[in-house]
Amino acid sequence: MSQPRLRYLAEILALVVLTPAVLGMTVAEAGGLQAGAAAVDITPRNSPPNPPSIVAGGFLEGRADRVHDPLLVRAIVLDDGGGEGRGAVRIALVVVDSCMMPQTLIDEAKTQAAARCGIPIDRMMVSATHTHSAPAAMSCLGTRIDAPYAARLPGLIADAIVAANGRLEPASIGWGSFDDWHHTHNRRWIRRPETRIVDPFGNPTGLANMHPGHLSKDVIGPSGPVDPQLSVLSIRTAQGKPLAVFANYSQHYFGSPAISSDYFGPFCRIVASALGETGDGNGPFVCALSQGTSGDLMWMDYGAEPRPTGIQEYAAAVAHSAATTLEKIAYRDDVSLAMTEKVLPLAYRVPDDARLAWARLIAAGITDDLPKNIPEVYAREAMILHDRQQTTVKLQAIRIGDVTIATLPNEVYALTGLKLRNRSPAALHFNIELANGAEGYIPPPEQHVLGGYTTWPAAPPASR
C-alpha cells in the first residue's frame, strides 16, 4: 500500500480525538445507558467452498477449499439515553472476521443499516480483525477480490447492526486494561548494513525487515516499541448478566489455515466460557476482539529461542489476561457517549518517470490479471498509483464515559498508537486499525529510511 503524504498521522489523529465534540460532555449529563449485541455468520455459504475462496494476506493470491472455523460479524450498539438539554447518542461498534475491507463496501453496509434502524452513518464504526485466513473482501497486492463473497458482506454487516439495535435494553458498562507484554512483540528488526535486502525495484534499500528469524545474526534489534495494552469494555444487563465484551489488542494475527477467524474467534469463545456464557461469544452474549495498532507487531519474540505454541494455547493465554481484567471492572449506567468523524484527503507517492517505465515493462508480462512474483506485484501497484494519484481516509474519534477510541483505516505501527494514547486525557485510550476502510501501511516518518515492504509504494486497494 502506498504511504500517503501524511508525515504526522498521530498528530492529526490527536486533533480528532481531542475535539470538543468528543470531550465536551461530562458523565453527569448522561441518562440511562442501553446496549444491545448481535453476531451474524459470514462464513462462505458452501462448506467446503465451491469454487475455492480467494484468500488475501500475502503478496500473491491464495486459495481455500476448507472451512476450519466460522467467520462472524459482531456488533454492539450503545445508547446513552440523553440528558437534560440534549438528545441521546447512539453508536455502533462492529468487528468483522476479515483481513481488510474497502471503504466502499463498509459505507454500503452502513447505508443499509441506517435505512433499517436509524443509526446515523457517522455513528457507526466497522473494522476488520485482520485474519489472514478469510475470503478476500477486496483486492490487495497480488490478490484479486473474491467478488461473490464481497457482494454478500454489506448486507450481513447491516444485519448484525440492525439485530444489535433491536436488542437494546438497560445496561451498565465498565472498562479496564492489562499490559500483556508476553504475547505481542516487534516483528520488524533493523538489519546490519552489510545484510540489507534488495527491494522489488532492484535497489539494496532494506535496512529493516519483518520476521528476521529467531536470534538471527543478520539483525541488530527491533526497529520500534511494542504496545502491550489489552483494553476491555464490558457491558452487563441491568440484572448484572454479561451482555457483551469489546476488547482490543495490538497483535497482527497468529496464523491459521484458511478459512478461519484465526485467534480472534477462539479468544471470544474462551472469554465467553470464562464468564459462564454459552454460544462461544457469538450470541446471545457477544464478544469481539478488535485490532490495535499492530503494523509492526506479531506474537513471535525474535530476540529469544522459538517456543512451540499452538493457536488455541495462544488464544487462551490472551483471553486469560482479558478475563483477569474483567474481574476488576467497576460498572456504571450513567456514562455519556460522543463520536465524531472526519474525512481527510491525501495524495499518494506516485512513481517518477523512471519507475513508471520500469513498471510498464514488468507489468507487460502479467497474464490473467494475476501477478506471479513480487516485482510484478509492485509494477502493477506503481501503474495504479500513477492513475489514482490521491484518496481520502475516514478517521473517527469515540468517547464512552472516560474512554477514548481513535479509529484509522490503515495498518499502523505501535509507535503511532502510543503517541495517540499519550495525547488523550481519558483514563483509558485505545486505537482500532483497519476501521472504516483499508488504505495499507502508514509507518512513522522515521521508519521510511529503513525501507522494507511496509514502505514500498503500493496502490490503494479500494481503487481497484
d(CA 81, CA 25): 14
d(CA 350, CA 358): 13
Asked if residue 377 is part of any domain, the answer here is no
d(CA 252, CA 421): 19
- Encode the chain (464 residues) as per-residue pLDDT tens digits: 444 444 445 555 555 555 655 655 444 455 699 999 999 999 998 767 778 999 998 999 999 999 999 999 999 999 999 765 567 899 999 999 999 999 999 999 999 999 999 999 999 999 999 999 999 999 989 899 999 999 999 999 999 999 999 999 999 999 999 999 999 999 999 999 999 999 999 999 999 999 999 999 999 999 999 999 999 999 999 999 999 999 999 999 999 999 999 999 999 999 999 999 999 999 999 999 999 999 999 999 999 999 999 999 999 999 999 999 999 999 999 999 999 999 999 898 999 999 999 999 999 999 888 999 999 999 999 999 999 898 899 999 999 999 999 999 999 999 999 999 999 999 999 999 999 999 989 999 889 999 999 999 987 655 45
Residue 368, pLDDT score: 85
Asked if residue 367 is part of any domain, the answer here is no
**Strand partners of residue 62:** 55
- For residues 77-94, b (16+ Cβ closer than 10 Å) or e, as one string? bbbbbbbeeeebbbbbbb
Asked if residue 433 is part of any domain, the answer here is yes
Residue 184: give the domain boundaries: 9-350+389-463
- Look up residue 59 and give its DSSP letter: S
d(CA 428, CA 248): 12
Asked if residue 317 is part of any domain, the answer here is yes
CB atoms within 10 A of CB 125: 24
d(CA 197, CA 209): 8
Residue 17, pLDDT score: 54
On whether the CB atoms of residues 175 and 262 are closer than 8 A, the answer is no
**Strand partners of residue 399:** 338, 404
Asked if residue 283 is part of any domain, the answer here is yes
Count: domains in the chain: 1
Q: Which three cell numbers stand for residue 243?
A: 451482555
Asked if residue 55 is part of any domain, the answer here is yes
- The whole-model pTM stands at 0.93
**Cell numbers 435505512 label which residue?**
115
* CA-closest candidate to residue 248, choices 298, 299, 287, 301: 287
Asked if residue 1 is part of any domain, the answer here is no
CB atoms within 10 A of CB 215: 11
d(CA 70, CA 265): 8
Burial of 329 (0-12, 13-18, 19+ CB in 10 A): middle
- Angle at CA of residue 56, ends 215 and 49, nearest 5°: 125
Classify 196 as helix, strand or coil.
coil
Contacts of 84 (CB under 8 A, 6+ apart): 29
d(CA 67, CA 50): 11
β pairing state of 229-237 and 72-79: unpaired
Asked if residue 361 is part of any domain, the answer here is no
